[in-house]
Amino acid sequence: MLDKIPTVGIVGGKGRMGKWFERFLKEDVGLNVLICDLNTEVKLDDIVKNCEVVIVSVPMEAFESVIKELGPKMRQEAFLTDLCSLKSVQVDTMLRYTQDSQCEVVGTHPLFGPAEDSIQGRRVAICPARGRRWLFWWEGILKSKGALTYVVDAKEHDRTMAWVQALNHFILLSLGKALEEDGIDLNQLLNLATPSFERQLRIVSRLSLQDPELYATIQMSNPFAQNALKIFTSHANQLFQIIKNQDRAKFIDLFKEVQELGRLFIEKSKK
Amino acid sequence: MLDKIPTVGIVGGKGRMGKWFERFLKEDVGLNVLICDLNTEVKLDDIVKNCEVVIVSVPMEAFESVIKELGPKMRQEAFLTDLCSLKSVQVDTMLRYTQDSQCEVVGTHPLFGPAEDSIQGRRVAICPARGRRWLFWWEGILKSKGALTYVVDAKEHDRTMAWVQALNHFILLSLGKALEEDGIDLNQLLNLATPSFERQLRIVSRLSLQDPELYATIQMSNPFAQNALKIFTSHANQLFQIIKNQDRAKFIDLFKEVQELGRLFIEKSKK
């Protein structure tokens, strides 16, 4: 399998993440890369014929129809992976449409967007599905360029993304909308920002680099998202009540609990 | 007034911020500093007698009683300022109890905590109250050591702090409590964190360095805080409804509005 440099095909290679991985695999890793997209001369059949590795980087809405066409054509010795932000349904879809070909399948989620310069220090989730040989090759390539890979079950991945992505974006959007509604002077806000709030505003600002369609799907298609949002809004509403009631003792207890969690994060981050 | 190096007295100089300013004014600025606190031999009377500049750095709960005792003793040519996180009531309190002495009064809010190494690049709000001569001296000292000072009306300051402090802490606490209730595996959360969520967790973690009593007062004594919390929770509840209804178009409109705000922040931060 690895007696020659494999050729990688990127389906959806004209999108922002597709382009990002094209550059990465060509320039940083030194692989041959073939691109196919809606209007390229290279078609799915060319990809299947010429590539040992096929990476599908298409909007999640188009994912099933692409895999439905691609999956049955895959060669048995080839490797199929994707770059979707959700993994449970996506890995199932890839497995289902490759039941005849029995090619290797792995789910990949790069935990960063196309605005990042390099993969160095960036996290990538890897969800094993069928086969292990290409999985080790793929993980090895990512790691060799400094990615922090983490192998995780697809369902567990989605459950975690409900917090990492869905709830995090939810908070940033609610904060952004609230600032907008209040109409507070932004210059004054920036000139009076604490280090903590300044960091928070920078995270909100990063949203301007992201794709609204992807962010909608992250909220609406992750089956675990609503649970996370529900727990958060319920705690926010409770805390608001505590503050309205001027219940200082309860507030301080709650503050100390979160401080304990903060200390755990600091400890674990050091490892 | 400035023909000799002034001696600065810090009332509450044994607290964390008091100690921070003692070190800063002694070591970085080169002033003489006298400390008084509950159990020091130096008393308020010694401070008033020996210091041209008096900085009050006590918990906001104790502030009025300290000013009530200190204010009438202040000398007319002296300078009184404080380090409270709220300014409207505090500046009024300082003015009220110095009506006889008519000393100079300025409200100061260092927009950072005692965990910061230096004042370089840190913001300090300055609220003019009575007199301008010491104000210029004070602002000059802070600026000369790299502080980003911002002169602002005390009420405007508090209105802005409802967002910068009260709402920001509120969000971090609600997020912390939600993660705690869910009991999600923290290692997995850290290993699957996006750059955005990792930043968010670091902000939550910073709470472990802070004083719960101060944070309670910031929530409960800022008259503008509840308005900010109300606007935020109302937007969070609305957004949750949009997501539950799978209203993709509405979500995307909202996302784009926040992106616009994000772009404004980036633009203004560059200036």
Write down the pLDDT at residue B270: 81
State pLDDT tens for residues A182-193.
Answer: 989 999 999 999
Nearest Cα of chain B lies from the Cα of A100 at a distance, in angstroms, of: 32
Write down the pLDDT at residue A2: 58
Grade residue B2 by pLDDT with cuts at 50, 70 and 90.
Answer: low
| DSSP E strands, chain B | 7-11, 32-36, 53-56, 79-82, 104-110, 123-130, 148-151
Nearest Cα of chain B lies from the Cα of A241 at a distance, in angstroms, of: 10
ipTM: 0.93
> Is A213 part of any domain?
yes
A125 - beta bridge partners? A109, A150
Do residues A16 and A127 share a domain? Answer: yes
Do residues B147 and B160 share a domain? Answer: no
Residue with tokens 């009377």: B45
Do residues B12 and B137 share a domain? Answer: yes
Number of structural domains (chain B) is 2
Residue of A119, A151, A186, A191 to mutate when probing chain B, most B C-beta within 10 A = A191
* Local structure of residue A117 (DSSP, 8 states): S
Give mean pLDDT, residues A120-127.
98
Which residues of A fall within a CB distance of 8 Å from B251?
212, 215-216, 219-220
| CB atoms A248 and B216 under 8 Å | yes
Residue of A151, A161, A164, A224 to mutate when probing chain B, most B C-beta within 10 A = A164
Cα A34 from Cα B228, distance rounded (Å): 52
Residues sharing a CB contact under 8 Å with residue B206, sequence separation 6 or more, in sequence order: A195, A196, A262, B115
| CB atoms B205 and A269 under 8 Å | yes
Nearest Cα of chain B lies from the Cα of A69 at a distance, in angstroms, of: 27
> Is A177 part of any domain?
yes
Mean pLDDT taken over chain A: 95
- Domain CATH code at residue A97: 3.40.50.720
Do residues B206 and B183 share a domain? Answer: yes
Nearest Cα of chain B lies from the Cα of A166 at a distance, in angstroms, of: 10
Residue, of B252 and B4, whose pLDDT is higher: B252
Among residues A114, A131, A152, which one ends one of the domains?
A152
Residue of A177, A203, A267 to mutate when probing chain B, most B C-beta within 10 A = A177
Give mean pLDDT, residues B215-233.
97
Q: Is the pLDDT of residue B186 over 70?
A: yes
Q: What angle do CA A125, B191, A260 make, to 5 degrees?
A: 155
* The pairing of beta strand A148-151 with beta strand B53-56: unpaired
| CB atoms A197 and B165 under 8 Å | yes
> Is A49 part of any domain?
yes
Cα B235 from Cα A241, distance rounded (Å): 16
Among residues B129, B152, B175, which one ends one of the domains?
B152
Do residues B126 and B178 share a domain? Answer: no
State pLDDT tens for residues A2-59.
Answer: 567 899 999 999 999 999 999 999 999 999 999 999 999 999 999 999 999 999 999 9
Which residues of A fall within a CB distance of 8 Å from B229?
240, 243
Q: What are phi and psi of B65, to 5 degrees?
A: -65, -35
Which residues of A fall within a CB distance of 8 Å from B263?
205, 208
Give mean pLDDT, residues A206-218.
94
Residues sharing a CB contact under 8 Å with residue B250, sequence separation 6 or more, in sequence order: B242
Which residues of B fall within a CB distance of 8 Å from A172?
196, 258
Per cent of chain B over pLDDT 70 is 99
Do residues A73 and A124 share a domain? Answer: yes
> Is A2 part of any domain?
no
| CB atoms A240 and B260 under 8 Å | no
Could you tell me which chain B residue has the CA closest to the CA of A152?
B188
> Is B2 part of any domain?
no
Write down the pLDDT at residue A172: 96
Grade residue B3 by pLDDT with cuts at 50, 70 and 90.
Answer: low
Mean pLDDT taken over chain B: 95
Could you tell me which chain A residue has the CA closest to the CA of B175?
A232
Question: A113-117, A166-170, A237-241, B25-29: which range is least confident on average?
Answer: A113-117
| CB atoms B240 and A225 under 8 Å | no
- Domain CATH code at residue A175: 1.10.3660.10
Q: What are phi and psi of B270, to 5 degrees?
A: -70, -25
Cα A179 from Cα A154, distance rounded (Å): 36
Nearest in space to B108 (alpha carbons), one of B24, B40, B34, B37: B24
Do residues A13 and A54 share a domain? Answer: yes
Q: Is the pLDDT of residue B1 over 80?
A: no
Do residues A38 and A123 share a domain? Answer: yes
> Is A1 part of any domain?
no
> Is B1 part of any domain?
no
Closest residue to A220, CB basis, from B172, B199, B248? B248
Do residues B18 and B78 share a domain? Answer: yes
Nearest Cα of chain B lies from the Cα of A4 at a distance, in angstroms, of: 33
Do residues B141 and B161 share a domain? Answer: no
Tokens of A182: 């209040």
Give mean pLDDT, residues B78-101.
97
Give mean pLDDT, residues B186-203.
94
Task: Work out how many CB contacts closer than 8 A connect A with B.
Answer: 310
| CB atoms A258 and B167 under 8 Å | no
pTM confidence score = 0.93
State pLDDT tens for residues A75-96.
Answer: 999 999 999 999 999 999 999 9
Do residues B40 and B114 share a domain? Answer: yes
> Is A157 part of any domain?
no
Among residues B134, B152, B170, which one ends one of the domains?
B152
Write down the pLDDT at residue A3: 64
Query: What is the extent of the structural domain holding A248?
Result: 162-270
Nearest in space to A222 (alpha carbons), one of A91, A88, A106, A56: A88
Do residues A126 and A30 share a domain? Answer: yes
